[in-house]
Amino acid sequence: MKSIRTVISLLVLTIFAFNLSGCATGTTLVTGVKRDATNFEQVKIYHNPPANYEVIAAVKASSEVGFTEQQNLDMAVEEIKKQAAKVGANGIILEKMGKESSGSYGNFFSNGYGGGFFVSGEDYSQVVSGTAIYVK
């Protein structure tokens, strides 16, 4: 019985450590003219295109390691702003925001005596995508 508690404790600690070290991931596809990098904190999110802008890139970011969906969304938004800033954008026209399945998992934990338990589920990530722009 003591060994089962040890295994469960190690599992919980591993999951907790993974969540603390997590971050968002992002991608950028340059489709226009790349500019000098900007500060990601200055990048604005637009739901509708502003009056005068030029397209720089398609950007996408996702996060699945926060403790809540809101934390995942916040990390994905921060990452998409970082991706846009790297190519010189000062704005992003938001095109998609929401949850996407990022795969499923399953693990069997043996108690060493022919028994154990199975854990399974599906992982979701918050995904944000849009067009990185430079507003003139």
CA distance 78 to 65: 14
Q: Which of the two residues, 102 and 54, has the higher pLDDT score?
A: 54
Q: pLDDT tens across 46-66, in order? A: 999 999 999 999 999 999 887
pLDDT of residue 107: 81
The strand order across the sheet containing 53-63 reads: 25-30, 53-63, 116-135, 91-110, 44-46
pLDDT of residue 11: 60
Q: Which of the two residues, 47 and 110, has the higher pLDDT score?
A: 47
Using alpha carbons only, what angle is made at residue 19 by residues 18 and 25, rounded to the nearest 5 degrees? 95
pLDDT of residue 20: 45
Threshold 0.75, pTM exceeds: no
Confirm if 12 and 4 have CB atoms less than 8 A apart. Answer: no
Domains belonging to the chain, first-starting first, are: 23-135 (3.30.110.70)
Report how far apart, in Å, the C-alpha atoms of 117 and of each of 4, 7, 10, 38, 56 are. Answer: 11, 12, 16, 50, 51
Q: pLDDT tens across 16-32, in order? A: 545 444 589 999 999 99
Q: Whole-number mean pLDDT of the chain?
A: 85
